[in-house]
Amino acid sequence: MGVVQGDQMVLNIGPQHPSTHGVLRLKVWTDGEIVSEIKPYIGYLHRCFEKHSENVTYEQVIPFTDRCDYIASMNNNFGYVVTMEELMEIKVPERVEYIRVIMAELNRIASHLLALGVYGLDVGAFTPFLYMFRDRERILDIFELTCGARLLYNYMWVGGVSHDLPKDFERICIGFLDYFEPKIKEYNDLLTHNKIFLERTADVGVLPPDVAINFGVSGPNLRGSGVNWDVRKDEPYSIYDRFEFEIPLGEGEFGTVGDSFDRYWVRMCEMKESIKIIRQAIKDLPDGDVFQTIPKKIRPPKGSIYRRTESPRGDLGYYIISDGSPIPYRVKMRSPAFTALSSLGEIAQGWMLSDVIAILGSLDIVLGEIDR
Amino acid sequence: MKKYFANIWGTITTLKTGMGITWRHMMNIKKDNVTLQYPEERWPRPERDIGFEHEDYNVIRSRLHVDIDDCIGCLKCERACPVDCIKIDTIKAPTRGEDIPNIGHTGVTENGTNKALVVSRFTIDMSECCYCNLCVYPCPEECIYMVGGPNSPKHPIDYEFSEFDRKDLIYEFSKPLTSEQKSELMNPKPDAEA
Amino acid sequence: MTVDNLMNWFAELGDFPELAFILAVLICAVPVFLFIAIYALVAIYGELKISSFMQDKVGPMGQGVGLHAGKWGLLQPVADALKLILKEDIIPASADKKLFILAPFIVFIGAFIAFAALPFNQNLIIADMNIGIFYILAVSSLGVIGLIMAGWSSNNKWSLYGAMRSAAQIVSYEIPAALSIIAVIMLTGTLSMQGIIQHQSGFVWGILPNWIIFQNPFTFAAFFIFFVSGVAECNRTPFDIPEAESELVAGAFTEYSGMRYAFFFLSEYANMFIVSGIAVTAFLGGWQSPIPGILNSPGWGLWWFMSKAMFLIFVMIWFRWTFPRLRVDQLMNVCWKGFTPIAMVNIFGVGIWHLMLG
Amino acid sequence: MTPTEIKETLDREFPGSVIDNEELAESQIELKPDQWLEIATYLKNDPGLNFDQLECVTGIDTGEDGPLQSRYNFHSMEHRHKIEVVISLDRNNPKVASIEQVWRVGDWFERETYDMFGIIYEGHRDLRRILCPEDWEGWPLRKDYEAQETYHGIVVPKIKEEEWE
């Protein structure tokens, strides 16, 4: 039956809107409820990260990387620090590697908890958001115990970490993991298998694999479309090759592969994998001094390097060019949410207004990282 | 037709499990209530259910504090600050390691180094500080640190330092010097020279 | 305490028929308004506390020094009401002034006059009309006009979206609600609310009270259909698309504030009470006590009616904090492909069941 | 395929387009800007190379008189090999073909590099600033960039020497 072509209405899902995950403006051409075209406008949170990093020394860039993706700051630091150590050929002691993996995976769970909770909010369920934030607070307590900060840590330094682990960190961390594992089952019962939730997310905003690769989408969004790509497995950095964990892919149980439900489901399974990694890391956590290889004065050799790491939102790449002085010549951050948002215009066409909000939620973007 | 009824039955069962969970949470609210009654209960609740004590904290990033008597004016923290919110002015002390009683300047720091400079101005603009803790590490005398944590015996944790006026957020740590004391320090009188 | 008792009583005093009518209606209207106001405060407090308990938090507990929210947060609803009254209600410059001002009152009138036929107990009913339930269903759809007026007159795209969605939703959910009421009327034979409740006294199948919900499986299904489409009529989750927080901010009443917003808020809770009132009267035996025979005095009758209605309101609040939100077209599918066919099957079912089992 | 083999295949396919530049690392190739669109489509469609993922486009200002460089990182999901292409452009008239039709992610990457460096990507369907406001003057990440005084009358804040007045 022919679709009735009414006249178009331009709608601004404006910079100030309850569900744009930050300051983002979507210019939407709608015909009734059906959306015919979307143009995202970004740049409202642009704080010139790259210009700043050309005026501060190498260790002073780390607080700025924290503030790009403020939900997964540990992984931002991790990316920057791994790239710098590869540039300067620093070999960090074992204990630092294990601490970094534990912190990065804890931060991945915290970031996924926020992503899934806010996704439930976008689809209309209030309670899962509060359950997930209650558990996220427990992780933030652990971070506060080690480095004093709850959201922006400046914890990982080039060549080491800023603080050693507190007294009985193993007991506390294992305590959290045992507390948290049954909670995932509770989220699944409450939200994932809920028929209304499935109705709202299955078959919505389908991102086919080739379009995903063409749009440079990465991380859980790409794995939701069934592409087996995880930087921790395919370009292993730090000591990720010592742990065995699977990579969850979207199989399209309740709809086609690559729909919003798959992206949601991949994030839920990734939390289980992260718990496995942390358990293995804590089991064989060596002792040692963490401040040993922190260089007093960072003067990397002349040259450039591009290195990718797996942040909860995808491939977080750092392109660092140094000219031998203690001030970086150029630091470029390739942000995964930037490419995920660029694909929104493609996959949200033809859906209804409330689906656009659901698809935006399933892409899990953070505007701090997009605008840098 | 069969899928129609299976669909309805699936809806009913999944909605029922969902309602069961919220009912259980409502029933045992006494056990897993997480609200912190703010004015009465303060953060951090030591026996938070993970069970670590307040002294276990490595560091608490709440507010910068400077023991001005130990500060030798080496400007390392000013250089380490990524947002340049620390500003220090120093004046050359007439003699190294000598106390100057009238302006309360102590010549020797806690761990014994003699001070060659009088710190006339040491301001930290807490409204610009990004709490990254980078200024604490280079200090040779460990006189600048964030309140709480291992320093908590000296300074209990406090995070309520909001002010009504932005200018009050600029903390002045150096001892107040009147202008003529400053000028007198700057150019010592001829007889002191001879 | 019905209007006509008061009329006869005035008639004895002296013959001033018009004044008597106005006086009688006024005497009945003021307590209803007070009831709605107090009930709304209780319902807001209930929603506040129940939602907090379901989300592992305790809600306002009246801590802190100075002016705070009462012992267990009891003063919180009063504080909300006070805030809404004191807040300045802004009329947007480009709004259509007359409609903008009129809309909240029409929505409130739609909810208020439906209280006239609700049987609180044996004789506590304002107008015991012989077309009671038909009157309520007709009147409660008046609110839609108010919502559309609100959405259109505030001249902003979002509230227009909200108004269109709520109009489509309320109008289409009237059908399954009315059909399931027909199933009840077929059993009771009368439209008057007291008559329906009288029909539900005594036992059925031995121990069960003779409520319509237990009389046969089809009316059991009709109860759920009526209740859920009633939830849809009050725009509550899982059908709260008109004021979907995450998309349309606040739907038709985005531009309202202060006293006018309070009226919308009040009418939403009044609508909830009407839907539970009808469901209780038609299916759960109004003021009949669950164990027929005992505790049947008017005082107890009021208690039974209020506790059943409050339980249904609790279930509505329970829905709100557990389910996500349906999309507009899914909502229409559920109504036209799900509820309406089943409601019709219920009518046939009740008829056949009634015929065979007598 | 190792980067050197890729360099040879490119040299064979497009003679004269590869410039050997010793400062660059082993995995970087410097190309002339003129045949860039054909090389890009070749990189993507050739079964042996099959670079289907454009990781990152970085703009670099190599100093006062040096050229503006636009560096592309490619990666192939299938063969799991990577290459980085460097293209140097004249400073006063930086023009290069846009590869936005080949890799859709290039659309936003190129817009960002245009916004920060002023490199004009010909053939780009919608080349406007992405991070800064659309009518912002100057290219922020160039080394010789001076921030404008006011923007629509709002004073652009300088580095603050003294505290609040």
Nearest to A370 by CA among A26, A17, A105: A26
pLDDT > 70 fraction of chain A, expressed in percent and rounded: 98
Helix (H) or strand (E) holding A316: strand A314-322
Q: Could you tell me how far CA C297 lies from the centroid of its own chain?
A: 25
Tell me what pLDDT residue B157 has. Answer: 65
Residue D76 and residue D51 in contact, taking contact as beta carbons nearer than 8 Å:
yes
C244 or B120, which is more confident? B120
Picking from C69, C189, B51, the residue whose alpha carbon sits closest to that of residue A179 is B51
pLDDT higher than threshold 50 for residue A323: yes
pLDDT of residue C74: 87
Question: Is the distance from CB of B70 to CB of B108 less than 8 angstroms?
Answer: no
Residue A88: pLDDT above 60?
Answer: yes
Longest distance between any two alpha carbons in chain B, whole Å = 111
* Residue B37 within any structural domain of the chain: no
Q: Can you tell me the ipTM of this complex? A: 0.89
The Cβ-side half-sphere exposure at A18, using a 13 Å CA radius, reads 19
CATH number at residue A263: 1.10.645.10
Domain check: are B17 and B96 in the same one?
no
Interface of A with B (CB under 8 A): 56, 59-64, 66-67, 127, 131, 134, 137-138, 141-142, 144-149, 152, 154, 162-164, 166-168, 172, 175-176, 179, 186, 189-191, 193-196
Q: Give the helix/strand (H/E) hosting C209.
A: strand C208-209
Report whether pLDDT(B33) > 90.
no
Work out how many domains chain B is built from and give that number: 2
**Region of poorest pLDDT, from A266-275, A342-351, B94-103, D127-136:** B94-103
Each residue's pLDDT tens digit, A167-182: 788 988 998 999 999 9
Give yes or no for A94 touching D (CB within 8 A): no
Domains of chain D, start order: 3-155 (3.30.460.80)
The answer as to whether B46 is a domain residue is no
C-beta atoms of C322 and B18 within 8 A = yes
A contact test, residue of C166, C231, C320, C325 with most A CBs within 10 A: C325
* pTM assigned to the model: 0.92
Q: What per-residue confidence (pLDDT) applies to B43?
A: 67
Nearest to A43 among D55, D104, D130 (CB): D130
Give the domain range for residue B106: 61-187
- CATH number for B178: 3.30.70.3270
Mean pLDDT value across residues A44-68: 90
The gap from C-alpha C10 to its chain's centroid, in whole angstroms, comes to: 32
pLDDT score of B193: 47
User: What is the pLDDT, as a whole number, of residue B34?
Assistant: 81
pLDDT at A79: 93
- Indicate the number of domains in chain C: 2
pLDDT at C34 over 90: yes
Cα C178 to Cα C137: distance, rounded to the nearest angstrom:
7
Residues C198 and C150 in one domain: yes
Instruction: Output the pLDDT for position A248.
Output: 92
Q: A161 lies in which domain range?
A: 59-336
User: What per-residue string of b and e applies to C267-297 under the rule 16 or more CB within 10 Å gives b?
Assistant: bbbbbbbbbbbbbbbbbbbbbbbeebeeeee
Residues B127 and B75 grouped into a single domain = yes
For position C291, what pLDDT does the model report? 82
Same domain flag for C140 and C251: yes
Condensed to tens digits (0 to 9), the pLDDT of residues C326-341 reads: 888 888 999 999 899 9
pLDDT, residue B194, reads: 42
pLDDT, average across residues A51-73: 91
Please check whether residue A160 lies inside any domain of the structure: yes
pLDDT digits (tens, 9 = 90+) for A333-350: 999 999 999 999 888 888
Shared domain for C28 and C172, answered yes or no, is no
| Mean pLDDT score, A61-88 | 92
Q: Residue D13 — pLDDT band, cuts 50, 70, 90? A: confident
Q: How far is A193 from chain B (nearest CA, A)?
A: 6
Residues C58 and C129 in one domain: no
Are B6 and B70 part of one and the same domain? no
The partner residues of A307 in beta bridges, in order of sequence, read A318
Indicate the pLDDT class of residue C226, thresholds 50, 70 and 90.
very high
Both C111 and C71 in one domain: the answer is no
pLDDT of residue B156: 63
Model confidence over A189-208: pLDDT tens digits? Answer: 888 888 889 988 988 889 99
Residue B154 pLDDT more than 80? no
Per the structure, the count of domains in chain A is 1
Which pLDDT score is estimated for C1? 58
State yes or no: pLDDT of C315 exceeds 90: yes
> Coil, strand or helix: which one is A47?
coil
* Whether residue C115 sits in one domain with residue C238: yes
Length of chain A: 372
Burial D80-102 (b: 16+ CB within 10 A, else e): ebbbbbbbbbebeebebbbbbeb
* A positions 340-369 inside 8 Å of D (CB): 342-343, 346
Question: Quick one: pLDDT band at residue D161, thresholds 50, 70, 90?
Answer: low
Residues B83 and B14 in one domain: no
Asked if the model's pLDDT at residue B72 lies above 90, the reply is no
Write down the mean pLDDT value for chain C. 87
- B148 located within any domain: yes
User: Which pLDDT tens digit goes with each residue over B87-118?
Assistant: 898 888 888 877 877 777 888 887 788 888 88
Q: Which range has highest mean pLDDT (A328-342, B154-168, C48-62)? A: A328-342
